Structure formats: C-alpha cells, structure tokens
C-alpha cells in the first residue's frame, strides 16, 4: 500500500538518538527502514542510530528506545532466558527514560498475563503492560489477514495530510496475532481498535500504551505506511525533551 502522507513536526534535538531492535526473530530490516522513513518526515530529522540487540551487553542505558519485533513468543523467551537477558531487559524497560514498543509476539512478551498458553509454553518473561492478551486470538497462521484498524484520537498518531484530512485508520497486518482481552489498569490507553465480526467483537483493542511502553498486535513494519514508527519516534523524542525540563 502507498505510504500515507504525514504532517511534519519540529522536535528540539541536540544529540543522537539510538534505537535498538531485539534481534531474535522478526522483520529487523523492515523495522529499520520504517524508522528511517519516519525520521525523514520530521522537519528536523535527528541523528538516528539503529542497533541490533542480541546479547545482555547490547542492552545499554544509552539506547533511547527499543522495538521487540514479532515472531514466536516462546522461541524469543527461550532465547532471552538462555542468554541471561531477562533481568537486564526487564530493568531497562522499567526505566522511565526508555521507550519500548512490542509488535505481535512483542505484545505477548510485554503483557503481564496471557491466555491460551501452549502446554509447556513460556511464562511471563518481561511484563510491564497491565493487560491480558489472548495469544492466538485470530487463530493459526493460515488465518492471517489484513484489515483497517481505527486509530485513537491521539494527536501524534492521527496525522493530517497535505490537504488537511486527518488519518483515522491504518491497514494492520495480523499474522497469528494476539489481541488485548482485558485492561487491568486505567493507566493503559487504547491506541487502536478493530471490528471483528467473525468473533462477534467490535472495538477490539489491538494497540495500547502505558506510560513509556506501547504494543501493537499487528505488524506496521510490513506496510509502506510509517505512521506507527513515526509515533514511536516522536514518543522517544518527546520523552527526551521532557526529561530535560
């Protein structure tokens, strides 16, 4: 799909910003390309460094934001445990100066609870988001689909194009995707919802944010639209500006 045009936004910047991508599974190169595209949409693009995070030593305090891509949540959790990355990653994510975004499997790993675990499946590994997710809400891989999700009325998420029209939807790619079935804390805000007639469900939460953590059940990196990467990048930049005040 063609990229949706975005209004540009000036964010003060006086230093490099470093974004990490957890390099276990998932579309690393697609996330990187989308971040670079999003950065180019800023009136004043920042000096952006994108780094792979594959070991405990890679989880550095000078990384400003982290993306946990999709994949198989059990495989990712086993990798983190085997490489002794769990405690360090959990500590990094809970630092209020860091922004974390989990997509698909990343949402499962960030959720405090998940339903329909496989026998012997992974326990809660990272956590931080006070939500309950259904691991395979939409079914198996063959039930993957693409559908429009409705964006919440969040200024940095709903962008105006050059003609002044506000973007209200985003084409979400759902691949063996989870969904949020319960929100356990009012601090969690819903960023996007999906109408799912096949499950007799409307306004199903498929993207959420709680403070400096966010998660999407779908894969924005697999589209040409950088809306979500722009929102993530702005969150990182705005957090850095706020911390200096």
Residues belonging to the active site: 104, 219, 221
* Integer Cα distance of 119 and 112 in angstroms: 18
From the CB of residue 157, how many other CB atoms can be counted at a distance below 10 Å? Answer: 20
Could you give the CA distance from residue 81 to residue 122 in angstroms, rounded to a whole number? 10
| HSE-CB of 56 using CA atoms within 13 angstroms | 11
d(CA 70, CA 210): 19
- In what helix (H) or strand (E) does residue 181 lie, and over which residues does it extend? strand 179-183
- Of all residues in the chain, what percent are helix, strand and coil, respectively (each to 5)? 25, 30, 45
The answer to whether 194 and 137 are in contact (CB under 8 A) is no
Instruction: Give the position of tokens 């931080």.
Output: 128
What angle do the packed helices 28-40 and 227-243 form, to 10 degrees? Answer: 70
Contact 220, 103 (CB under 8 A): yes
Residue 200, token pair as written in the block: 């007799």
Which residues does 116 contact at the CB level (< 8 Å), separation at least 6? 134, 135, 136
């Amino acid at each position: 799909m063609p990229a949706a045009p975005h209004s540009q936004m000036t964010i003060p910047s006086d230093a490099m910003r470093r974004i990490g991508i957890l390099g276990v599974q998932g579309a690393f190169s697609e996330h990187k390309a989308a971040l670079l595209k999003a950065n180019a949409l800023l009136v004043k693009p920042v000096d952006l460094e994108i780094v792979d995070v594959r070991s405990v030593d890679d989880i550095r305090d000078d990384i400003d934001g982290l993306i946990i891509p999709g994949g198989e949540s059990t495989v990712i959790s086993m990798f983190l445990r085997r490489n002794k990355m769990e405690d360090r990653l959990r500590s990094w994510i809970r630092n209020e100066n860091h922004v974390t975004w989990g997509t698909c499997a990343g949402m499962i790993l960030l959720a405090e609870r998940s339903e329909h675990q496989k026998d012997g499946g992974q326990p809660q590994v990272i956590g931080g988001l006070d939500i309950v997710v259904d691991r395979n809400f939409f079914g198996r891989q063959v039930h993957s689909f693409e559908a429009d999700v409705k964006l919440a009325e969040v200024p940095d998420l709903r962008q105006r194009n050059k003609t002044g029209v506000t973007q209200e939807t985003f084409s979400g790619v759902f691949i063996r995707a989870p969904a949020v079935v319960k929100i356990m804390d009012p601090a969690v805000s819903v960023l996007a919802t999906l109408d799912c007639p096949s499950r007799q469900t409307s306004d199903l939460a498929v993207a959420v944010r709680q403070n400096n953590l966010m998660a999407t059940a779908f894969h924005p990196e697999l589209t040409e639209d950088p809306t979500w990467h722009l929102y993530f990048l702005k969150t990182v930049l705005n957090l850095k500006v706020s911390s200096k005040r």
